[in-house]
Chain A
Amino acid sequence: MIPEIGNFSLIVALSLAILLAVFPLWGSLNNRYRWMRMARPLAVGLFVFMAISFGCLVASFLNDDFSVLYVATNGNSKLPLMYKISAVWGAHEGSLLLWAFLLSGWTLAIAMFSRSLPLQMVARVLSVMAFVAIGFLLFMLITSNPFERIFPAPLEGRDLNPLLQDPGLAIHPPMLYMGYVGFAVAFGFAIAALIGGKLDAAWARWSRPWTTVAWVFLTGGIGLGSWWAYDELGWGGWWFWDPVENASFMPWLVGTALIHSLAVTEKRGAFKSWTVLLAIATFSLSLLGTFLVRSGVLNSVHAFASDPARGVFILVFLCLVVGGSLALYAWRAPSVSSGGTFGLLSRETFLLVNNLLLSVVAAMVLFGTLAPLIYEAMGWGKISVGFPWFNRMFVILTPLLAVAIGVGPMSRWKHNDPKWLFAQLRNALIVTAIIAVISLLPWVNQGHLLVSLGLVLAAWIVASHVENLRLRIRNRRGIQAVWQDLRNGSRSYYGMWLAHIGVAAFIIGITGVTNFEIERDLRMAPGQKAEMAGYEFVFEGVVKSMGPNYEADRGRVSIYQDGEKIGVLEPEKRVYFSQAKPMTEAAIDITWSRDLYVSLGEPLGNGEWALRLYYKPFVRWIWAAAILMALGGLLSVSDRRYRILRRKVSVRIGAEARA
């Protein structure tokens, strides 16, 4: 019964979405207030029925209702409660439902928190969101219904993939999807602005906080995913340039560009068309990411052939969204005035450099991700694009970005005197030069020039931002001004500051781990010792142990430093009852400056085991960077300016409308 309710709610939600997509938009074009006013209640209805539907799938998992095909393939009665819930988004159908549910949630949020926006704008944004919802609901109902039944029902479910039974991965997809779906809001605002033909500062200001929140979620989601891969896959890698990862990274890159470009549009009225284009691109890449990951197309072109209905639907939907919005753009954008002019040496220019570089990186990642598909489709052979290529591309492009990050916040809008700008940056340049000399010493970079490069870039970002902060508070009441700002003033500056420091931390993390990591695969007998990076690892053997739904071989490795015991690691090899295959569970000893990572290989007889030992310097800085960036984003969203200015703008627009 519950699955039927879920299915029925999906159909009701679809009907509501169709109404929401048509009537408020139509009303906004003909100035019919009654039709526009339908938008908010319809958005609430859409959310309610999506919530019922989603709740029904959760309930089916909790009740172990294996007569539902999706529950039978992804659930199991022995799963711990948390994983019964996270199993809902463990595969294709359920993750689509989560996507659509979150979309209805964002739609509701706009309906609720847009009291200060003109009704026309709200109606249009909600209609655009509803169009996207229609696409997803149809996709689910036609090709991938999560509530499909099977007969006869199996007695036990096939269980959630053990790799996914991890707290990190339980919340990773919802976070990521919150980000993906959040960009639908930016998309909605952009399309609504295009429909109205009015791309002004007000539009950018409304769109900014939503976009930043979406970006924060995406940043957190990607960080979590990376941490999970490192923690759970047992290979000690934190990024593989896997198509699945690239699919989430591309919207992040373009989304980052969008945040910066929105700033220019809001403050200076420039980059309008470009910002709209970025908003469209970000959301299109989010859609592409969702579909490509879940449909399995990236593994092989043949995945399309195995389920043509899905493939065709995806292609048509993507073409409609991308093609439709680009057509609208081509029709409307030329009438948009070009906005404020700016000189060669201005903050606008540096933000333009930022946008350009991020877009180029995204385009490269897209190219590298799709190249195997293109090669195969053209019959040029089966290829895979190597790790080194992505890394090299990154090493070429990011230094330019890092340089711009240092200068951008220092420069003023519109025009800068080169001498003035240089004077502003002089201290930062001196510090960076000193660090550069130190980093070239052989005992610092140990012969890796890339280490010097990384240190210099990080030093440049940190030094210029510290100097920037010093100059900012020098003319005010000193450090007290910071507290005042944080309490009720402009938090967005500190958000920017924090996020940029995050970039520096990221550079240090990558530099440390890629240049100094040590990996050793060893054959060890109980009692045997191994030296690595100044640490001594003593293997003490393996014992059997039992978990709630698995059985494990648990190894014991003691770690000594300078003859002193600093820790014991217990890596496991688990066999889950519902699956035949074993799973590696690594054990990690963590400090701020390095990880020691041990995973169990296979038994080699006589109590000997294959062991994998890693020394990972500064790897934590990578995730710390993601946290810093996400916090920075949150801080700038909480800026009071948005709330106050929004009210002012609406008053002004209201006044104009009356006049």
Chain B
Amino acid sequence: MTPIRKKRLMLIGLMVGAVGIAVALALTAFNDNLMYFYSPAEITAGKAPADHPIRVGGLVVKGSVARKPDGLTVAFDLTDNKDTIKINYTGILPDLFREGQGIVALGKLNDQGVFVASEVLAKHDENYMPPEVADALKTAHNEGVAQQAAKSIVQ
């Protein structure tokens, strides 16, 4: 092997090694930073992990938004028209947050099954439904229809 070849090989080896390490580091962190999306029905069914950052989405139940008299903590219910969960959030809600509107919240489930949100997202215009929420509603609806059908057959 000529010295130039040898040098080149060394250079390539060093770089591949360094890049490999960096990529490996980044990728191991990848799974820890994934936030899965759950619907209220899935959370009620106990499918979501407690105390791990996740996202939930659904419609804000009308008449459920209550602000504590002091401070900035808000409590509201979130539904996919099948099941409903309770959400607590401390801070300023986005401009487009409204009862009956589809939202996505980021946060963790606590021991009591209350979702403690660190961030509430209600982007886009009033006709817009976050795609995950639309999906969750559709799934819940289909299941409901199927259950009704099953019931009516049993009866």
**A interface vs B, CB < 8 Å?**
161, 234, 299-300, 302-303, 341, 343-344, 349, 352-353, 356, 360, 364, 368, 371, 381-386, 388-389, 392-393, 396-397, 400, 521-523, 580-584, 599, 601-602, 604, 610, 612
Contact = CB atoms under 8 A, between A and B. Distances in A.
B55 A384 contact: yes
B47 to A, nearest CB: 10
Interface of B: 4, 7, 10-11, 15, 18-19, 22-23, 25-26, 29-30, 32-37, 53, 55, 67, 70-72, 90-93, 95-96, 125-126, 131-132, 135
A356 B33 contact: no
A382 B10 CA distance: 42
A353 B35 contact: no
B72 A386 contact: no
30 contacts: A300-B132, A303-B131, A343-B7, A344-B10, A360-B19, A364-B23, A364-B26, A381-B36, A381-B37, A382-B135, A383-B34, A383-B35, A384-B34, A384-B35, A385-B30, A385-B35, A386-B35, A389-B29, A389-B33, A393-B29, A396-B25, A400-B18, A521-B90, A581-B125, A583-B95, A601-B72, A602-B92, A602-B93, A610-B72, A610-B92
B92 to A, nearest CB: 4
A384 B34 CA distance: 6
Contacts of A341: 4
Given A523-B71, A583-B95, 14 more contacts: A299-B131, A300-B131, A344-B7, A368-B30, A383-B37, A384-B34, A384-B55, A386-B53, A400-B22, A521-B72, A521-B92, A522-B72, A523-B72, A580-B126
Most buried by B among A343, A356, A382, A612: A382
Most buried by B among A360, A385, A389, A601: A389
Contacts, number: 92
Contacts of B30: 368, 371, 385, 389
Contacts of A161: 125
A523 B70 contact: yes
Nearest to A368: B30
Nearest to B18: A400
Given A344-B7, A360-B23, A523-B71, A385 B93 contact: no
Contacts of B37: 381-384
A87 B53 CA distance: 39
B70 to A, nearest CB: 7
Nearest to B122: A581
Contacts of B135: 382
Nearest to B124: A299
A225 B4 CA distance: 47
A302 B132 CA distance: 10
A270 to B, nearest CB: 12
Nearest to A580: B126
Contacts of A353: 15
Contacts of A234: 95
B22 A604 contact: no
Contacts of B7: 343-344
Contacts of B53: 386
Contacts of B11: 344, 349, 352
